[in-house]
Amino acid sequence: MRTFLADQPEGLQQFESSAGALSAQISELRRLTADNPSQQSLLASLEPSLNQQIAFLRTAAAMKDKGGSVELLQEFSADSQSFSQQAFAKLESLRAEERKLLGQRTIISDKTYATQKLVLSISFVVVLIVTVFNFIELMSQLRQRQNAEQVVRRLSGRMLQVQDEERRKVARDLHDGIGQFSQP
């Protein structure tokens, strides 16, 4: 049995303070493990063990304070150690369950990350392909417009040339026709 509880008042106060905070900590653990029935059952079986151990420690401290027999204190100490071992075994089970859950959640998180990464990569490739196709289509339309402009320029040039030839022909015909009328 630890003698600091009965021998030192500050040790007893610290014990009482910790014992009082224990139920709040167990409530917090219940809230955090609400989605896991096996952890909830471990907590349900742990709480009575802890309360019983606290009661044993309080009784042992009171007995020590009132000068109880050494044999009785040793018996209480042995019982207290038994309850401590049970409580630590249940806490270790909780920790093992939490590590197992953490491993499962890590695997799920890794799979989700890989899936999201794959979806984003595929989306990027699709956007890139669409952009390349749009660029190719725009370049094709640009070439078609340039070709159409060249055809229009050639047509305009040919029209001007035909008009010029027609004017010259009309001018020659007029010149020759007037020349025939002026010669007797």
> HEC states along the chain?
CCCHHHHCHHHHHHHHHHHHHHHHHHHHHHHHCCCCHHHHHHHHHHHHHHHHHHHHHHHHHHHHHCCCCHHHHHHHHHHHHHHHHHHHHHHHHHHHHHHHHHHHHHHHHHHHHHHHHHHHHHHHHHHHHHHHHHHHHHHHHHHHHHHHHHHHHHHHHHHHHHHHHHHHHHHHHHHHHHHHHHCC
Q: Which pLDDT value is given to residue 48?
A: 82
Q: Is the pLDDT of residue 153 over 80?
A: yes
Give tens-digit pLDDT for 44-87: 887 887 787 777 777 777 776 676 666 666 666 676 677 778 77
Q: What mean pLDDT comes out for the span 108-132?
A: 98
Q: What mean pLDDT comes out for the span 94-119?
A: 93
Pairwise pLDDT comparison (21 vs 104), residue with the higher score: 104
Rounded to two decimals, the pTM is 0.49
